[in-house]
């Protein structure tokens, strides 16, 4: 029977086809807390970013939350349209991404309710990831594509990323500017993320630097302190804080 294992600090968690998830002391191997039960095998597990909550995904079509030190139920079940084979927390732990079959979807951790639209591929989804800023999610599928989606709406972002075989693994770079994909076509690829590679107009870039640095460069190249009123006006124009 297949078993999966992940660890966070001194705790480890396993999920198994015996319909359970379990917590363990990573230093001693001793069990911790209660057995976490589903109606079918546990196919994926994930710790929240702070390590306090554990999510389990199952072939019974649910994602369930548990206390990561007790195994006690935590919050509401999240229901998918079929078995769930992948699960991930958003960086702020406010939402969860789950995938199974040809669909992926987002849920609100606090309410258990779906967020935005269902994200669809033409074949089974095998890999998922959140961007570091939580604005986007990435899915990889047996349909030979990886796709980017808006994490607030479920709408597609940018172009479809194509391979010659099923996409089995996906990831973002630490700054979110690149996407990595690995495929059954024996290739790994790097892709620029569209919204971070768009050219910034020089005028906006200059104003942003001035607002952030408190400095302004005159026409003759002299650097001076940016007046407070001007700085506030530029910050308002840019739609950012001072």
Are the C-beta atoms of 181 and 161 separated by less than 8 Å?
Answer: yes
Vertex 174, ends 171 and 175: CA angle to 5°? 115
Please give the Cα distance from 225 to 15 (Å, whole number): 58
118: part of which helix (H) or strand (E)? strand 114-120
Please give the Cα distance from 11 to 9 (Å, whole number): 6
Condensed to tens digits (0 to 9), the pLDDT of residues 41-86 reads 999 999 999 999 999 999 999 999 999 999 999 988 999 989 999 9
Please give the Cα distance from 64 to 48 (Å, whole number): 12
| Chain mean pLDDT for the chain | 87
pLDDT of residue 9: 74
pLDDT of residue 213 exceeding 90, the answer is no
Please give the Cα distance from 13 to 118 (Å, whole number): 28
Condensed to tens digits (0 to 9), the pLDDT of residues 108-151 reads 999 999 999 999 999 999 999 999 999 999 999 999 999 999 99
Please give the Cα distance from 87 to 93 (Å, whole number): 12
Are the C-beta atoms of 190 and 197 separated by less than 8 Å?
Answer: no
pLDDT of residue 226 exceeding 80, the answer is no
Are the C-beta atoms of 139 and 104 separated by less than 8 Å?
Answer: yes
């Amino acid at each position: 029977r297949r078993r999966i294992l992940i660890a966070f600090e001194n705790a480890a968690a396993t999920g198994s086809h015996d319909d359970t998830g379990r917590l363990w002391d990573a230093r001693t191997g001793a069990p911790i807390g209660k057995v976490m039960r589903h109606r079918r095998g546990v196919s994926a597990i994930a710790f929240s970013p702070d390590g306090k909550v554990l999510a389990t995904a199952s072939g019974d079509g649910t994602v369930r939350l548990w206390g990561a030190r007790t195994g006690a139920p935590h919050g509401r079940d999240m229901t998918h349209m079929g078995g769930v084979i992948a699960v991930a927390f958003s960086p702020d732990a406010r939402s969860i991404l789950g995938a199974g079959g040809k669909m992926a979807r987002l849920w609100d951790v606090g309410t258990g309710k779906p967020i935005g639209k269902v994200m669809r591929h033409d074949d089974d989804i095998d890999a998922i990831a959140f961007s570091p800023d939580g604005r986007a999610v990435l899915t990889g599928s047996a349909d030979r594509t990886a796709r980017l989606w808006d994490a607030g709406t479920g709408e597609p972002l940018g172009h479809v990323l194509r391979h010659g075989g099923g996409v089995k693994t996906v990831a973002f770079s630490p700054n979110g500017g690149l996407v990595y994909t690995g495929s059954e076509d024996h290739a790994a690829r790097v892709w620029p993320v569209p919204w971070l590679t768009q050219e910034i107009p020089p005028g906006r870039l200059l104003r942003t630097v001035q607002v952030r640095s408190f400095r302004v460069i005159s026409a003759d190249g002299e650097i001076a302190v940016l007046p407070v009123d001007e700085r506030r006006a530029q910050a308002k124009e840019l739609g950012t804080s001072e």
